[in-house]
Structure 1
Amino acid sequence: MRFGEFEGDWREFRFGKGVIESAFGPRFSSDQYVDNGAVVCLRTTDMEDDGTISYDNVPEANLSVEFESHFLKLGDLVIARSGTIGITGLFEGYEKPVVPGAFLIRFRLNRNMISGHFTKAYFNSTSGRNELLRLSAGGVQKNLKGSSVKSLKFPLPTLPEQQKIATFLTAVDGRLAGLRRQLELLGAYKRGVMQRVFSGESVGEWERVTIDEVYGFFSTNSLSRAQLNYEAGDRKNIHYGDIHTKFSHHLNASRTEIPFINNEVIAKGAAYKQTVRVGDVLLADASEDVSDIGKATEVVDAGTVPLYAGLHTIHGRPKPNKIALGYSSLLLQSPQFRKQVSKIAQGAKVLGISPTSIKRIKLPLPSLPEQRRIATFLRALDDRIALVERQLAGVEAFKRGLLQGMFV
């Protein structure tokens, strides 16, 4: 990316020439951590992959005067030297003094020579991150040295052009921060609505029902990934891994990539079970994570190709006049359902549930008209969240493209 008023090639620059001083973050004893300390302790885990520093969960401590030399100053770079090697943040001030943790390297820059925002952008680009990883040493647990970072050479424009690029990238980062904040607020609002809707505070008479009273269940096949493909076939199959990682709470089979069943499997008759229809629910019955066990999706569009429920899924269908379309996804992600699922999940390393075990779960259920009103409102909220997610993904892709274009 070049702005029209700048010309000439970028020069090769050794990072150490623009560094006034550098140091590892200090170590101190655990008994110096307190709930409301005088100093904030920045860790590698407090930085996002793009270098954004989050102070939401930073620990605090009371440190003696000898640690003051480690306090970050405005414009300091901090680079992760272990674990998530190479993630680079720029300190832009905080309400309390901030000291970098032991797995961060602090670099104080000569701002008459090099821009902190520009350097952060380079180190967090694909090219910059790869260079930092290349410079790291060690076996399984690699480590990055400050001297190695200072030896790194990269293309550098004039300071005015650095500052122009930095201003533009800062504006992009501001847009990203705004969208992430929107997502955070929308997510919190939805969680609050869900908690209130399913807590019994809603207006109207709600009856308490068991899952067995409102859903019927069908057996599913046990086809593995090896028996599925994404090229062609006459039938499609839902694998529980896709419920965990790919599907939203509403499954539109016409717009979602779902694998086909291999033709030789169909010839053996192994995939012939009850087809999946609009309104059906599919739950993942196995997971290593209690927060993922029983994760569900409701089918709002079954597509034009026959669809089946596969390995480690539970296939349920609402009984007549019990559940409005769009409400199942809410019911099965409600705090009440999730809490009861976590109690009945069994297993050591891998947790599991079954149709028999979830049939006994009791939940509050409003009338069909009220279900429709709730589903319509929350679906509109989900659409808003999805829109912001798409906008965020678009701006992130735009920024990646800019960085890739600058630092090839």
Structure 2
Amino acid sequence: MQTLWNNYVNTFKGLSREVWWLSLITFINRAGTMVIPFLSLYLTKSLGFAVSDVAWIMSAFGLGSVVGSWLGGKLTDKIGFYKVMVHSLLATGVLFISLQFLNTFASFCIGLFLVMVVADSFRPAIFVALSAYSKPKNKTRSVTLIRLAINLGFSAGPALGGFIIASIGYGGLFWVDGLTCIVATMVLIYVLNPKSTRQLNEVKILNPRSAYSDKAFIIFLLSMTLFGIVFLQYFSTMPIYYKDAHFLTEVEIGILLGMNGFIIFVFEMPIIKWLENTRFTKTNLMLFGALLTGLSFVVLNLTSWIGILVIGMLLMTFGEMIAFPFSNAFAMDRAKKGNQGEYMALYAIAFSIAHIFGHNMGLQMIGKLGFDNTWFIITGLAAVCVFLLFFLGRFLNIKKKQKQSVVEVEEEEILWI
């Protein structure tokens, strides 16, 4: 037992002090993010919106995320990640508190759009900060530590959110979410001095490559958009499925979603550490993660037994646990020769686009086609994602062989000379 504990602790060694602080800030922020998992239920149950209205509101959520991610990338390349993170967190806290006072369809669409523009400008900035503060060999584990902080907060957040709804109503979620963003801002300002980040912020790449001309990265973005559409069903259509098809309460839904975060907190770092030392490439691991996530929807149609919800959640959890860290690492590796803010903004935008179409599409489909048919279609999208990742792996192998051939030819020419 002691050996297992020592091996677990060793997986966290070697990470920089700044990465640990960023993880704490992320945990504080994510622990208060209780609104999003319950948003579809809040809009239908508390505000009385139709499911079709909720679908369009969630599209406004995604559109704001696209704009925010793009803006965050531009600002990060221009003024540095520190300023972007501070202003984004503080403004997000104020906007989340204000969101509870909106009760019409139009006002909520506009309000949620503005919240996401500000909130998701944070995402490219923290990716660039991680890249700046991490040693090359530790980047995947640094990303994994941030994800652990996210999921530790997320394991507590929805469970606590369910109890808050049961005791004081949905309004309490907005207050907690907003105040934790403000607290995270204060911690960020206190622990990360702007003077210590100035040199890192000013690092520029000479003759940077445009992310838009990187064919492999574009294929990767397409696959991640599809993966995002599949994955995000667990935060819009799935809570409704739990409630309407299996009659779970908000507290039970919160506990089931919280289980996802707890499992990731316990198992993700050791699994990622182990996978890093295997012969599998990042594209192969992303493919396997997408496959598991797709299977999590297949099993839901096999039986009406309530335990299948736990099995589906486990498949999705291990799928995202593998796919997300290595997709983050893949994006940061591709960004080495380009504008890092631009690369990481596009990576974030891929999931923002998924927010635009994924929530809307899923909610519209369950209303018109039912849950079973919706899960079959979502599984089909996961299959396309798997195919794109397989194609990406083949494409990168061909490019690698071509590069090796060029090097060999150049070496032969030197020998002849």
User: TM-score, normalised on structure 1?
Assistant: 0.25
Greater RCO structure (CA 8 Å; 6+ sep): 2
Bigger strand fraction: 1
Bigger helix fraction: 2
Which has the higher Rg, Structure 1 or Structure 2? 1
User: TM-score, normalised on structure 2?
Assistant: 0.25
